[in-house]
Amino acid sequence: MRIPARFAPILFSALLSAIMVCIVSAFIIATTQGVHAGFISQWLESCIATWPFAFPTVVVVAPWVRGIVDRMTT
C-alpha cells in the first residue's frame, strides 16, 4: 500500500510525533519512577494521552522549523 505524496507532510508529522512521544515518555517514566511491574502499561497510557497534543504540534511547527533551517544553512 502506497500513500499519495501529497500526504507526506501529515505522515511525517504522525510518525515523528509518535516516535518522539514513545521515546520521551519511556525516558521520563524510567528516570522518575524506575522500571517497575506496571511500567509498560503506564508507558502506553502516557503515549496515548500525549500523542494527540504532539501530533498537531509537529504539523504546525515542522514547516516553521524547516524554514529556519533553510535560512541557517547554505
Is residue 14 in some structural domain? no
- Taking 3-state DSSP, the helix, strand and coil percentages for the chain, each rounded to the nearest 5, stand at 85, 0, 15
Domain range holding 26? 22-69
pLDDT band at 74 (very low <50, low <70, confident <90, very high): confident
Cell of 29: 517514566
Determine the average pLDDT of the residues in 62-69: 94
Is residue 2 in some structural domain? no
pTM summary value? 0.84
Q: How many domains does the chain have?
A: 1
Quote the pLDDT of residue 8: 94
DSSP string, 46-73: HHHHHHHHHHHHHHHHHHHHHHHHHHH-
Quote the pLDDT of residue 1: 83
Is residue 61 in some structural domain? yes
Instruction: Quick: pLDDT tens for 1-46.
Output: 899 999 999 999 999 999 999 999 999 999 999 999 999 999 999 9
Is residue 13 in some structural domain? no
